[in-house]
Structure 1
Amino acid sequence: MHRFLPATSFPRSLARTLTRSLAGGPADRAWAVFAAVAALLVTIALVAAGVYGRSSALSALEAQGLTDANIKVSLLQAVLERPRAVPLLLSLDRDVQDALSQPTAENRERLDRKLEQIVQGASASVIYVTDASGLAIASSNWQQPDSFVGSNYAFRPYFTRGIADGKAEHFALGSVSKRPGLYISHRVGDASDPQGVVVVKMEFDGLERDWAAAGRPVFVVDDNDVVLISSIPSWRFMTTRPLPADSLTAIRESLQFGNAPLVPLPIAERRTVGPDSAIITAALPGGGSADYLRILVPAASTPWRLGYLVPLQPTVAAAVREARMMALLALAPLLAAAALWLRRRQLALAAIAAAEEARSVLERRVEERTADLTHARDRLQAEIAEHRSTETRLQAVQQELVQANRLAILGQVAAGVAHEINQPVATIRAYADNAKVFLARQQAGTAVENLEQIAGLTERIGAITDDLKALARRGRAGAEPVGLREVIEGAVELLRSRFAGSLEALRIDPAAHRFVVLGNRLRLEQVFINLFQNALEAVAGRPDPVVAVSMQAIDGMVVVSVADNGPGIAPQVMGELFSPFNSSKEKGLGLGLVISKDIVTDYGGRIEVRTGPDGTCFAVHLKPAGDSA
């Protein structure tokens, strides 16, 4: 028995091999390495983008923060410059000098009223004048309950430095009003004979409100790092660093800030960014801790510094997100290209592996087939030797074995093959001879057409063999729509070589062109070859031979009639017409009509015969295909 692989086993085995190679094999490891490298690259890109985004955001915030802080310093200077000129001008005023040199009630009242008028246009809180001992003799708030008139300010640095240096500025908490402000003073008279001091107190409530409305913390510290002005009221008189003990004692004894605790601000510096900036964590009133960029810039013409806090989280987070998104957008095409390259490489390797597997399978099948053929050849040679040794004995008992059922069937099949393939073989021989002639004439195109006809006839011989097998099995082949025109033309073509010069007796009804029946073209051609051959042989030698082929639709069937004007069929033959080995011909085998009847029956039809002295008519009934009838 030959050991052939099934037709579908090869691609299935190849698919299983590829599946095994990709499942848990190098391909999985390659993708695992690719995924690990891709994850590492994405992580590095995200980290680097985060660092870059944070750095760029900090640089942008620092630049913008310095700009905003300098604007606020300029505004602070503008607020300070206007009242600074007032003490100087008043120190030269005649009314001030008269009130100090001649401290009468009239002079003092006139000065009080003058100061009351001036304070409204000087952007100052209070303007007052002290004598050389520090006693306030006149004030713009002389009519208010908290009037400064009569209070002694000799302990204040703005008085002592004003007497000694001619002018002074000092920020302190008012001893009477308990409100913080900047005291600007100027001496009246010469240093050798000072008469008193003119003092302008400036408060920053409006400026603090403007800063608070901006939403970002702003504060001003003095040279001791004490907060003087702030957009957050609770930060006033707190410090940016813990004060040394001696400085803290001196400030408390001077009553500069009253009883303020002077504790450090709720700010923790994390790292320095630039010479004027640092990242801090600050706790604002009513909220949690947050990170800020602190900008410190000096306030010109003062020993103060302005601090400006810029929130970090929104801007830095947005910059980091944008940088990471850009990094991912830049990295994604690279990773996609790498994945595509890896996939194409794996497909190429898989194709190579599949080709190698296919070659191995093919070699194995060739080896198996070669071994099977060798064994078959050996067995055949042994059988031939045995057949030759018994040939003489078989001839002696041939008639008895013919009667045996098994050899009768073998004889029928062999006879059927000889009978049915006689016409195709004869036609093949004719086409082959013609091809030789055309090749000799160098008419290659016509020779190729003959060879194509020979190839088609070999297929017909295969179909005839299948029909003989079907005859033995009584099986039924599948039916399909077939045009009667092609069937009849094919049958005539096969008869042309044998009945050359006699086919003029064959008269075919043109109506065949419009009929389509159910069947198989090759098998139906076999039927009409038998019928046409029998009819042409029946009219051979007659002076007016006629074989008429007609078609018509009757009772839902297509009836093809083959009528000849021969002598008719003998009664003894007519009774066994469709039985095997029943023939009126000297060399006939009596199988043609048997096979034809079986073919027509397979497709749901039948064959009817009418005969007489004037000829015989075979009527083939076939099922129509659709509405062909």
Structure 2
Amino acid sequence: MPLCGSGGMSHTPRMDLSRFMPARLTPERRVWAILLACGIAATLLAGWAVGEAVRRDLESDLARKAETAAALHAAVLRSELEKHQSLPVVLVDDPDVAHLLVAPSHALVAQLNDKLEGLAAGTRAAVIYVLDADGLTRAASNWRLPTSFVGANYSFRPYFQNAMRTGAAEFFALGTVSGRPGLYLARRVDSAGGRPLGVVVVKVEFDTLEAEWREGDERAYVVDPGGVVLVTSVPDWRFRTTAPLNEARRRLTLTDQTLGAEALQPLPFAPPQRNAPQLVTVAVEGPAQQWMHTQTGTAAPGWTLHLLTPAGAAIDNGVAAARVMAVLIVTIIAGIAGILLRRHQQAANRARAEEDARLELERRIDERTHELRDSNLALNRQIEERERAEAARELLRDELVQSSKLATLGQIAAGVAHEINQPVAAIQTHAETAHAYLERRQPEDAKASIARIESLTQRIGAITQELRQFARKSEASLGPVGLNDAIDGALLLLQGRLRDGSVSVEREVSRDMIVVADRFRLEQVIVNLVQNAHDAVQDADAPLIRLTAFRAEDRITLLVRDNGPGVSPSIRERLFTPFTTTRPAGLGLGLVICRDIVASFGGELDLLPSENGATFAVVLNVP
């Protein structure tokens, strides 16, 4: 039934929805929307791409630095071990040790106790002691202390058993008396007939080395072949393992190394199995963060040094800075494009508003605008090219600085063994001389040889200290040095070798010649030059080395001449470049290191032309 109207239809009101619909975008607004969308997309893409590229570069650079730092840590550890490994080798040939083990007496015990005490103090060994064939301690360097080993029996210790069985043993464990960890270096003492008399033991503790490691930002630890952490800059990691041990092996290790039941737990992180540098997340004395993990072998049997270099903050900051820079550059480019677009739109709007009479002028304005846009685009390209050139230049400079640093540290790490080789050889020579004097019952001469050994040991310590100071960017202490004193010290190191080779040495150096240098480093230069001259005159009929010096104004020149075959022309031009040598066993680093040392004094080292043999000139400043 119809409600109203004559037609019978109902009329329902309709709502006008057009006012709620967004207005259609004008062409100008559509261009701005597209420009905004492209700018946002370009900013995000540039920030991500640049950040990832910088992240890869920073990780590669950090990996190279970490490998260099690990090699330097390993070199310092090798130096510490080599210094102490020679002690038991020398002591097994000491007649006092053999006499004490064959016929012990109170006088011999007191004499050997004093000798071991002085030797331990000079070499910074934790303790040095002598065990008889039953494992009973006959003499020890700590005989004055309440924790003295004298009278204690250590036949149950693995290092004693292995040394008695094989002749030598190296074992890392906790001390049964002191409770301090250390490396036990043991050597068996045999009689003239080959009968085992006992064992000489040197305990080495690494507290000083670990303290030096803790001063840096890195975290270092050394593991044995079984994966047990022995030396570490993080005390909580000591005697932890890189992987869980089975129960039988764990009980055996706890017993051998006298550890507590809580030891030999796995590390709080899983070290990478690959030798290549790798990022790991570790919580070290604080919240977890990223570290660059590297590892390298050491001189100890089966020991591996692991190094953790902090990486998280450096990489994140670098990536963030690169992304901010990329976003800023893209934003500037987008702003310039927006300005150009706005100018173009304004010009077009003005052109459309002009009357027909101004069409010619409008055309000219459009042409000038087009030229301006082209100029701006060309300017943008020049700006981008200039920015790329600047970035390439900065990257090249950083790479050159880093390469120079790596080369210098590589020379120092490779030259450590070369620098301390002569004092160690001299110590062995004087030890053999002291042994011969004792066999001839000439104690005074033997004491003199032992005094020289102590002096040379101090010299080795000075050389090692020089390496540490260089690694910390410290400078050598320069001052007045008597040239003759340095020559005396150098010839003292080489006198045995010169005498064995029947090489004559002539000196024409005034006693009043004083130069600006460091005593030990100047001696090292003279030792290297004299040793090279010694090797060169081996086949000469009357081998001769001549040292002469003269003063010219404020400089003194030391000449080292020999009558050998001289330096061949093929070698002369690259004589002072690394790894250039004519000796089969040479490293080719001696002259390079010597030139660097002399340069640090403000002097010069060079090869002079000579008709016979070779002549090296060392030019030094006068105070």
TM-score (norm 1): 0.49
TM-score (norm 2): 0.50
